[in-house]
Amino acid sequence: MVSVAKSFDAPIKLLFPTADAARPFSMLGLGDIVIPGIFVALALRFDVSRGIKNRYFNSAFLGYTGGLTVTIIVMNWFQAAQPALLYIVPGVIGFVAVHCLWNGEVKQLLEFDESKTEAEEAGEEDQDDKSKEDKKGD
């Protein structure tokens, strides 16, 4: 997998310089950012829908940072490439899971539905528009 990623010259990877002459760059694939990023974005959406100021987003982001840190430590320890998602995904899910268990909000998190949130927002906007039209008519 590493040989394919190294040979593919497209904007699907991020290269970071290292101090090691044998391995001048560390590589992070775009999937290692996008896949957990979707979960982090959903955590932010959950916070916004409940009127909470970034509680679950902060947990998810901290989990991402922790998973990435563990990936770098293991990579340097074994001196070999590591699949970053192997460490990032459990970090993100684990931090959010512990947070919602701690707060007793497991059911609300598991039942969260983005489409219901969007429908409620659209309904509120329609009511606001109607009230504005009523005021103009008077």
Q: Using the predicted structure, report yes or no on whether residue 89 has a pLDDT greater than 90.
A: yes
- Phi and psi, residue 62, nearest 5°: -65, -40
Residues 104, 79: Cα–Cα separation, whole Å: 41
pLDDT interval class at 114 (50, 70, 90): confident
5 contacts 30 by C-beta, under 8 angstroms: no
- In this prediction, residue 43 carries a pLDDT of 93
Q: What is the pLDDT of residue 13?
A: 77
Percent of the chain with pLDDT over 90: 35
| CA trace torsion 73, 86, 45, 112 (10° rounding) | -140
| CA–CA distance, 92 with 36 (Å, rounded to integer) | 7
Collapsing DSSP to helix, strand or coil, 123 comes out as helix
User: Pairing state of beta strands 25-29 and 13-17?
Assistant: antiparallel
The domain limits of the chain are 2-114
Mean of the pLDDT values across residues 47-65?
Answer: 92
